[in-house]
Structure 1
Amino acid sequence: MLKTLATAATLFASLAATAVPAGAAPAAPPRNQMVIDVVSANGSGCPWGTAAVTVSPDSKAFTVTYSEFTAQTGAGAGPTEFRKNCQLGLNVHVPQGYTYAIASTDYRGYAHLERGSSATQTAYYYFQGEQGTSRIRHNFAGPADGDWQRTDRIGVSSLAYLPCGEQRYLNVNTELRVSGGWSDKKKTSFMTMDSTDGNLDTVYHVAWKKC
Structure 2
Amino acid sequence: MNAKRTAIVLAGALGLPFLTALSAAAAPDAPEGVSVDVVTVNGSGCRAGTWSVDVSDDRTAFTVSYSDFVATAGGDTSPTEMRKNCQINLRVNAPSDYTYGITGLDHEGYARLREGATATQLTNVYFQGSPETQQLGNHQLRGRYRGGWAFQDRVSPQQTVYKPCGEERNLNINTELRVDAGSSDAWTSYISTDSTHGSAKYLFAWKRC
Correspondence list, 1:44-63, <5 A: 44-63=44-63
Partner of 1:123: 123
- The 4+ residue runs of structure 1 with deviation greater than 3 A are none
Which stretches in structure 1 are left out of the alignment for 5+ residues?
Answer: 1-12, 15-22
Normalising to structure 1: TM-score of the pair?
0.83
Partner of 1:182: 183
Correspondence list, 1:24-39, <5 A: 26-30=27-31, 32-39=32-39
Partner of 1:160: 161
Opposite residue 194 of structure 2, the aligned amino acid is D
2-side partners of 1:34 and 1:143: how far apart?
A: 43
C-alpha displacement of 1:51: 1.1
Please state whether the residue corresponding to 2:158 is helix, strand or coil. Answer: helix
Which stretches in structure 2 are left out of the alignment for 5+ residues?
Answer: 4-23
Judged with a 3 Å threshold, the aligned counterparts in structure 2 of structure 1 residues 168 and 75 are, in CA distance, closer, same or farther, namely same
Correspondence list, 1:6-25, <5 A: none
Q: How many residues are paired up?
A: 187
1-side partners of 2:79 and 2:140: how far apart?
A: 22
C-alpha displacement of 1:107: 1.3
2-side partners of 1:134 and 1:142: how far apart?
A: 28
1-side partners of 2:25 and 2:106: how far apart?
A: 24
Partner of 2:170: 169
Please state whether the residue corresponding to 2:80 is helix, strand or coil. Answer: coil
Normalising to structure 2: TM-score of the pair?
0.84
Q: Is the 8 A contact 1:24 1:157 kept in 2?
A: no
Opposite residue 201 of structure 1, the aligned amino acid is S
Q: CA-atom RMSD, angstroms?
A: 1.9
2:47 matches 1:42 = no
Give CA-to-partner distance per residue, 1:71-105, whole Å, 9 cap, x none: 00012311210000000000111212100011100
